[in-house]
Amino acid sequence: MTKNRLEAFSDGVIAIIITIMVLELQVPHGTELSTLQPLLPVFLSYILSFLYLGIYWNNHHHLLHTVNNVKGGILWANLHLLFWLSLVPFVTGWMGENHFAEIPTAVYGFVLLMSAIAYFILQTTIVKTQGKNSLLAEAIGRDLKGKASPILYLIAIISVFFHPKISQGIYLLVALIWLIPDKRIEKVFFDNDTNNH
Amino acid sequence: MTKNRLEAFSDGVIAIIITIMVLELQVPHGTELSTLQPLLPVFLSYILSFLYLGIYWNNHHHLLHTVNNVKGGILWANLHLLFWLSLVPFVTGWMGENHFAEIPTAVYGFVLLMSAIAYFILQTTIVKTQGKNSLLAEAIGRDLKGKASPILYLIAIISVFFHPKISQGIYLLVALIWLIPDKRIEKVFFDNDTNNH
Amino acid sequence: MTKNRLEAFSDGVIAIIITIMVLELQVPHGTELSTLQPLLPVFLSYILSFLYLGIYWNNHHHLLHTVNNVKGGILWANLHLLFWLSLVPFVTGWMGENHFAEIPTAVYGFVLLMSAIAYFILQTTIVKTQGKNSLLAEAIGRDLKGKASPILYLIAIISVFFHPKISQGIYLLVALIWLIPDKRIEKVFFDNDTNNH
Amino acid sequence: MTKNRLEAFSDGVIAIIITIMVLELQVPHGTELSTLQPLLPVFLSYILSFLYLGIYWNNHHHLLHTVNNVKGGILWANLHLLFWLSLVPFVTGWMGENHFAEIPTAVYGFVLLMSAIAYFILQTTIVKTQGKNSLLAEAIGRDLKGKASPILYLIAIISVFFHPKISQGIYLLVALIWLIPDKRIEKVFFDNDTNNH
């Protein structure tokens, strides 16, 4: 019960975040295809953020799958994550409307970095309530992706001052790393599901 | 569990998309009925998109009804569909505010086309996890509607350059094709439900 | 399952409608209490619409409580209701920003009238699938409120041309009629629930 | 069933309220970090309101956990609470955009006060349906926090006319009081859960 409501609330917030981002794509005045052109960077940053929020929803989904007992700590760690994710539409709009300028690109990376840290805190809080031999602890394993992402975001933030294109490349790279299905994790859960049902 | 969350998230996103579209209907300055007149094309395009999103929600609902095992591929195919649907408010506003001008009408058709392709990919991904003899594969059958729709959208996009009215007629026609209840599909599911419960 | 999703989707849409209405309350420029004064009619119309949407959600909740088998007809009758409800924020904003002027007040009544008709169609569709001796048919009984409301809305729309205050009084009256708990209906359902569980 | 839908609807409304608040953070024109500076008070008020809505969601969650029988009174007491919470984005924006000026700060406190009263009414309505010896009545106990909060809000509203900083300090203080986990309440519920399952 309790867990369902946590999932439902998180789903609601992420669904709204992912959808209100599209409001930054303001309907242009004019009927030519060329009037869409200035919207292109906003659109590209929308795609990037859509991917990131999709990845967060997807991972969040797997993470909570293992929770049995929602204590106060998990609720607040989860709200902390949702807080940083709720800033994604703002930084997406700022970065897109300024054609991926330096500072907005760095601030976008900062929000991604804080979201990654918030996710890590949530994950750690959940593992702590379950013990080190839990299914989740096993599934996470060494958590290479989770540890590499914040470092890559940091590099991206610093790279802005050399060339913003490097930062953007890193943001895309991290998204792709997460998009590639992690067979190992799915295997652990689905095998377990099959045993239980 | 997993499937419920996929449904809940998709419901959330579609519910938000269908509702924020109404924000394009900006409150006019003036208290005469005539001040509503310039809003008429926006309102008509709102009705059309409301129908389309309702159809997608309805079909999505039947499609996921048959899923037992949500794997990564289904999650991403579903997010891909939601991505294209999330662009519907934008193209609806653009087409409506420009009184169904050529290019916005064609771009509207393009988003419908991409949504239809995304739906087809999702359907194919689900059928693949279930096998060719599954309930869903049987219910879809030859899937005449699903195959005809993208072709009709393509025709509509091209027709814009002859007369946008043809394109609009085709959009309406496809919506009506889907609105007419597909007795055959419902029968398969409800018969099966009755047997199971 | 199917019914849960219908409820979840309707809840989502009504929750969004009720919440985006507040976006019409635009943050004023100025820090005096008097800068809130021009917002007063918008705020009053917000309260009225909040009440109506609350009533619809409440009744919708009781109505679907009795549904076992969601067929296509119910899905579309439900979407039809949500369509008219989705126009409530627009007419609320129009009526409020124009200080309850004649035409906006009449158009507000028109959307209430269409929503009431849509609700009646949904109710009739559900009763039809269940038979005349069903629990719902019994609970509705003569449905005095449901039949009186559209007539009162019609009177309100016509009254605008004599004095908009009459119309506003009627809108408030209908809301109050529905707010008063209908002990009889609750009794039928709760007694039945008690027997079942 | 009935209770799930009440929770789902409330979750939806709170999720939307918490997320549309971020729309007040309007994307600035300019690419310097300094262009973010005028947004700082809006951002700070966003954090404060995010905390408050998180606390309300969290407490609401525990409160409804104990409800078995959703009667009309609970539905309306819940909608009354959601009404006041729905005004939070408006007062948050007003207070933030005016750099925590006197009147907006007082009005912000007024909405918090009314929300606290609405929460108290909801809690009382639920306790009344369950009896004085219920689990909830026991968990609430003397409800020091619940009784202290409205008094503190009142003090904050009056303090505005001496110094708005005092009011802001009180808002932050009340949020922190609620953030600190109330071990006693969690204990009662989790012990009970363990016994039941």
- In whole angstroms, what is the distance from residue D54 CA to residue C192 CA? 37
Is A83 within 8 Å of D50 when comparing Cβ atoms?
A: yes
Which residues of chain B fall short of a pLDDT of 50? 193-197
Model confidence over C84-137: pLDDT tens digits? 999 999 999 999 999 999 999 999 999 999 999 999 999 888 888 877 667 667
Compute the distance between CA of residue C82 and CA of residue A1 in angstroms, rounded to an integer: 28
Q: What is the mean pLDDT of residues A164-185?
A: 82
Cα(D197)–Cα(D180) distance, rounded to whole angstroms? 28
CB-nearest partner of C90 from B25, B50, B61: B25
The backbone torsions φ and ψ at residue D69, rounded to the nearest 5 degrees and listed phi first, read -130, 105
Query: How many other C-beta atoms lie within 10 A of the C-beta of residue D88?
Result: 24
Higher per-residue confidence, A126 vs D136: A126
**D102-130 and D164-179 helices, crossing angle to 10°:** 30
Q: How many Å apart are CA D83 and CA C22, to the nearest integer?
A: 10
Contact C13, C85 (CB under 8 A): yes
| Contact state of D186 with A72 under an 8 Å Cβ cutoff | yes
Q: Which helix (H) or strand (E) holds A59?
A: helix A40-65
Interface probe, candidates D22, D67, D179, chain A, greatest A C-beta count within 10 A: D22
Instruction: Give tens-digit pLDDT for C43-90.
Output: 999 999 999 999 999 888 888 877 877 777 888 899 999 999 999 999
The predicted-structure confidence for D142-182, as pLDDT tens digits, reads as follows 677 888 899 999 999 999 989 889 999 999 999 988 887 65
CB of D44 closer than 8 Å to CB of D96: yes
- What span, in angstroms and rounded, lies between the C-alpha atoms of C164 and A174? 60
Query: How many Å apart are CA C63 and CA C189, to the nearest integer?
Result: 10
- Total number of residues shown for chain D: 197
ipTM for the whole predicted complex goes beyond 0.90: no
> Least CB-CB distance to A15: which of B12, B93, B97?
B12
Mean pLDDT, all residues of chain D: 85
HEC profile for C68-124? CCCCHHHHHHHHHHHHHHHCHHHHHHHHHHCCCCHHHHHHHHHHHHHHHHHHHHHHH
Contact B50 C90 (CB under 8 A): no
In this structure, what token pair is assigned to residue D77?
């007491």
- Cβ of D7 and A8 within 8 Å? yes
Q: Do C86 and B31 touch (CB under 8 A)?
A: no
Crossing angle of helices C2-20 and D2-20, in 10° steps, is 40
Task: Give the separation between CA A135 and CA A79, rounded to whole angstroms.
Answer: 24
Output the pLDDT for position A197: 40
Mean pLDDT, chain C, whole residue set:
85
Interface of A with B (CB under 8 A): 7-8, 11-12, 14-16, 18-20, 22-23, 25, 27-28, 31-33, 36, 47, 50, 54, 57-58, 61, 65, 179, 181, 186, 190
Show which residues on chain D lie within 8 Å of chain C, measured between beta carbons. Answer: 1-2, 5, 8-9, 12-13, 16-17, 20, 23-24, 69, 71-73, 75-76, 79, 82-83, 86-87, 89-90, 93-94, 97-98, 101-104, 107
**What's the DSSP call for residue C21?**
G
Residue showing tokens 């976008």: A108
Enumerate residues 6+ apart whose C-beta is below 8 A from A28. Answer: A35, A36, A38, A39, B94
Are D5 and C61 in contact (CB < 8 Å)?
yes
Q: Taking the mean position of all CA atoms in its chain, how far away is CA A16?
A: 14
Q: What is the pLDDT of residue B190?
A: 53
Record the tokens describing residue C74, joined without a space: 């119910």
- pTM, 2 dp: 0.88
Task: Give the amino acid at C176.
Answer: L
